[in-house]
Amino acid sequence: MELQMLGLEIMDNKHIEFLALVEKYKTLKEGELSAYLNEFKQHLVEHFTQENELMEKYGFFAAHCHIGEHQRVLEMLDDMISSNNKKEIDTYFTELIYDWFNNHLNTMDYVTANFLINNMA
């Protein structure tokens, strides 16, 4: 997918990193999945924590909603990892994550970035 830039470097850089990591799934070799899942989870926690902290620091009006969505996605990831179901994991990284990110980027992240651009000192 083509990454839409939001105009806030700190968020855009995380999104470039995120997409590269999702794309990396397709190149995994035998025995690399477990380390990859850890790496992906680690990225997602950092990515979401960074946005959550920015929203709280600058008083974003819909922070509660956006933070709740991040929490939901982390819980979904944990469920998916602990399911240990190869087919489910495959569907997640080849379909679901793209649909989710495309939507999230164009709604919550988009509105958040615009707010931060106008409100960060």
Please report, as ranges, the residues that interact with Fe ion according to CB under 5 A.
51, 109
Residue 8, SS3? coil
Q: Which is closer to Fe ion, CB of 53 or CB of 90?
A: 53
The distance from CA 17 to its chain's CA centroid, rounded to whole angstroms, is 10
Smallest distance from the beta carbon of 88 to Fe ion, in angstroms? 23
Say how many C-beta atoms besides its own lie within 10 A of residue 22's C-beta. 18
Q: How far is the CB of 15 from Fe ion (least distance, A)?
A: 6
The nearest distance, CB 97 to Fe ion, in angstroms, is: 12
Nearer to Fe ion, 34 or 72 (CB): 72
Between 33 and 111, name the residue whose CB sits nearer to Fe ion: 111
CA distances from 115 to 24, 46, 64 (A): 31, 21, 14
C-beta separation of 54 from 116 below 8 A: yes
